[in-house]
Amino acid sequence: MAESAVTRTDLAGPTQAAGPAGEPRWVDEVGLTGGAGLLARLVRLNMLVSTALEGLVEPFGLTVADYLVLGTIRHSPGGRGAPSRLCRVLGRTSGGMTLTLDRLAAAGLVHRAPDPTDRRRVVVRLTDVGDALSRGVNDRLHEWEDALSLPAGLRAELDHTLDTLIDAVTPDRPR
């Protein structure tokens, strides 16, 4: 299992935005403003968070895609998910999802079975091992989140703002 001590620097790497007084912030050095500055910040944030998440899941023998699939199944109604729903929710192709589910099934983390209400379909459930692993990664993720020291109000604001941005840029969403 992964160690439990989590610090800001070991997961996110050095941050220029919070540098010593007098040093320019990362975004000031980039020199982009308006929409271009926003996109630059989002790309930078994506890179930092992706790197941190990869570091969180790797000690558990998972990829980020594996973790997202396990977590989505665990939080799905009835603790099961259809591959088509997993593709839609996670923005994955059916081929990519099949590869991920094959890998998770081979590792004994998920079990596929015919849908009892429609035997043409398949449902995926976590095994006990998959559930425990998903919970372990989730605990580590909460430690990382706590290490960020963001106030609850700001977390809620970010949650809402990020959902709004995701909805705005999601292709084929009803407008």
Stretch among 53-57, 96-100, 127-131, 161-165 having the lowest mean pLDDT: 161-165
Residue 155 inside a domain? The answer is no
E-state strands within 3-147:
80-81, 110-115, 118-126
Q: How confident is the model at residue 143 (pLDDT cuts 50, 70, 90)?
A: very high
Residue 122 inside a domain? The answer is yes
Residue 86 inside a domain? The answer is yes
Question: Which phi-psi region, left, alpha or beta, contains residue 33 (left: φ > 0; alpha: ψ -120 to 50)?
Answer: beta
Q: What digits encode the pLDDT tens for the residues 33-65?
A: 778 888 888 899 999 999 999 999 999 999 999
Residue 30 inside a domain? The answer is yes
Residue 1 inside a domain? The answer is no
Q: How confident is the model at residue 173 (pLDDT cuts 50, 70, 90)?
A: low
d(CA 170, CA 47): 19
Task: Report pTM.
Answer: 0.76
Residue 59 inside a domain? The answer is yes
Residue 85 inside a domain? The answer is yes
Residue 71 inside a domain? The answer is yes
Q: Which residues pair with 124 in a beta bridge?
A: 81, 112
User: With contact defined as beta carbons under 8 Å apart, do 131 and 74 qualify?
Assistant: yes
How many domains, in total, are found in the chain? 1
7: pLDDT strictly greater than 80? no
CATH label of the domain that carries residue 141: 1.10.10.10
Q: What digits encode the pLDDT tens for the residues 92-126?
A: 999 999 999 999 999 999 999 998 888 889 999 99
Its domain, for residue 46, covers 10-16+23-148
